[in-house]
Homo-oligomer: A and B are copies of this chain.
């Protein structure tokens, strides 16, 4: 069984890698850009959709503000990029927001950010994969009925790829990242040229009317209208997710790490903004319709279009319109978008495990997340992320719009706290720095981070106001649970560490007065004989054999065999009116310990080992249960004396017969 499991694992993740291969597993800028930017870029695939569907609640006229909403998102994005460029230079170690915040604002703020980031990584995977299967359905309509299953399957495949190791993912993921950039770039250029020459046709959905929701018959007016615009902005802010990925991944860059990362970050922001704005512009120019519930909200000749209408994502609709008559280019855009969404999910598979490892190092998460697996990836973190994201996709049926509601709270929580931490950081440095040109640079950085903090804080308030009742409350609950859980884990580790310290070396080095050996026997067979011989070989101060009287015939038979064998070890029989084995032995060992509390008791347990797992099922597991119970009895050592059924032991032919 272990052999099969091991072989299966090898096929899946590849052969183990030596620790010294770790140093080489970093990425040059040209690979890092697509790997780390795909998260931010890929939001072009769903951010326009979210803006349009929110504004559409107020009817068609409301769509005129969509480019302005997009512009607001881009302003926030470039602010955040500028802020993080300061951060990667100041903290090139890859702890990212968590490191910045816990260093400057203390562990409580640090763990808050960490909770927010962990939740967001899981949501990044869930949202990106769910969006990707929508693009798949736009290209291959037959898959539309199995979106949830395909999405969960993709999460699993991504996890396996990442379990195979950092380096391979970098190379595998770079090409399609550039492909997406090229596809969207081509789409934008052709679209703009057509628009300028007046040959841009309206989209297929342009002929449909949009039924405004109750209360919005007059369009975007009054407080409700303003709130709707803010909600559209909140949803559009999903475009900012993933900007922090570089920040957490600096150690994966080639040296000079900080400078390369900052340059990559700027490119990420510029390219992302350009893509978002051009898609929003072309969607306006081609009159694309995109609503939350097309069956009832879209009207054809005054009637709802009904459940048979299939609504493609905005980028898909724009591509279909611009590349009308050239289906190969349409397919290029949707396929590239789908793949880059998968890449975005992959970014989280880089970020989550390394953050988990840092948190485990600091004692906030189980230690298992800290160690690298066979292939130098943080295997346990990868598996944890895959499980969390899989559950989210499953629970929300791979519906992007629902998942988006949970998404943005965490992102802006960490943005705001991170920038606040950076402001503190610069203030602290300014206190000790005297050189004027350095001080000027620090002041400039602090101003950038301060502005970033204010703006992201404002967005966080907007997001909370507009999203809390739409599902963001669930994220807030999740954050609180994670926060409490992490401090619980930390408290446990602290308590253990404190108890493990050796308070008095001389006392700890002292030996127990005497050793009392107890050999458990049920029958006088080879394993028992070996256990007795081994127990005698360790020369305890006193040695006795103990059996439990479960079946009186068996016990009598053992007693006779014992007398015949003339073993120089006394046999004690324990009564067991309830036919148990464990309790009488544990009680007896406790009574021995009570009688002479300064003696060490060593319990020798003969075990016979069969070679196949199913054979193990055919034997009572009393030895295992007994050892489990004795673990909780102080001052007792349990010695398993295994006897391998199918192997020959040299010790069976000893040189020194008695």
Of B593, B598, B656, the contact of A655 (CB 8 Å cutoff) = B598
Tell me, yes or no, whether A507 is within 8 Å of chain B by CB: yes
Q: Give the nearest-CB partner of A627 in chain B.
A: B640
Bound CA span A17–B578, Å = 6
Chain A interface residue count: which class? Answer: 35 or more
- A488-515 near B? 1/0 per residue, CB < 8 Å: 0100110110011110011111111101
Chain B residues, Cβ within 8 Å of A438:
none
Choose, from A166-174, A184-192, A531-539, the stretch at the interface: A531-539
- A638-655 near B? 1/0 per residue, CB < 8 Å: 111110110111111111
Bound CA span A626–B291, Å = 58
- A603-620 near B? 1/0 per residue, CB < 8 Å: 010011111000101111
Knowing A499-B526, A500-B526, A534-B637 touch, does A367 contact B510 (C-beta < 8 A)?
Answer: no
Q: Give the nearest-CB partner of A621 in chain B.
A: B368
Judge whether B615 and A658 touch: CB under 8 Å. no
Judge whether B508 and A530 touch: CB under 8 Å. yes
Bound CA span A607–B513, Å = 22
Judge whether A631 and B602 touch: CB under 8 Å. no
Judge whether B645 and A511 touch: CB under 8 Å. no
Judge whether B640 and A638 touch: CB under 8 Å. yes
Shortest A380–chain B CB gap in Å is 10
Chain B residues, Cβ within 8 Å of A16:
578
Shortest A360–chain B CB gap in Å is 10
Judge whether B634 and A637 touch: CB under 8 Å. no
Knowing A508-B529, A513-B654, A639-B637 touch, does A499 contact B371 (C-beta < 8 A)?
Answer: no
Bound CA span A21–B440, Å = 91
Chain B residues, Cβ within 8 Å of A636:
642
Knowing A538-B540, A638-B639 touch, does A658 contact B493 (C-beta < 8 A)?
Answer: no
Bound CA span A635–B530, Å = 10
Bound CA span A129–B445, Å = 77
Q: Give the nearest-CB partner of A20 in chain B.
A: B577
Chain B residues, Cβ within 8 Å of A615:
492
Judge whether B650 and A597 touch: CB under 8 Å. yes
Chain B residues, Cβ within 8 Å of A602:
538, 639
Judge whether B634 and A537 touch: CB under 8 Å. no
Q: Give the nearest-CB partner of A511 in chain B.
A: B537
Judge whether B366 and A617 touch: CB under 8 Å. yes
Judge whether B647 and A642 touch: CB under 8 Å. no
Shortest A606–chain B CB gap in Å is 10
Tell me, yes or no, whether A567 is within 8 Å of chain B by CB: yes
Shortest A634–chain B CB gap in Å is 4
Q: Give the nearest-CB partner of A365 in chain B.
A: B618
Shortest A356–chain B CB gap in Å is 14
Bound CA span A637–B538, Å = 11
Q: Give the nearest-CB partner of A578 in chain B.
A: B16
Bound CA span A460–B539, Å = 67
Of B500, B600, B637, B642, the contact of A608 (CB 8 Å cutoff) = B500
Judge whether B565 and A509 touch: CB under 8 Å. yes
Of B492, B523, B529, B550, the contact of A509 (CB 8 Å cutoff) = B529
Chain B residues, Cβ within 8 Å of A638:
639-640, 642
Question: Besides A371-B579, A508-B526, A509-B565, 13 other CB < 8 A contacts?
Answer: A17-B578, A366-B617, A367-B620, A496-B610, A511-B533, A511-B536, A511-B537, A513-B654, A513-B655, A597-B651, A600-B651, A630-B642, A632-B647
10 shortest interchain CB distances as A-B pairs: A597-B650, A500-B525, A634-B649, A508-B529, A639-B639, A18-B577, A510-B654, A510-B657, A511-B537, A16-B578
Contact sample, A vs B, 23 pairs, CB 8 Å cutoff: A366-B617, A374-B578, A496-B608, A500-B608, A502-B524, A505-B565, A509-B529, A509-B532, A509-B533, A509-B657, A510-B658, A512-B534, A593-B650, A597-B651, A604-B637, A607-B631, A631-B644, A632-B644, A632-B647, A634-B644, A634-B651, A635-B650, A637-B641
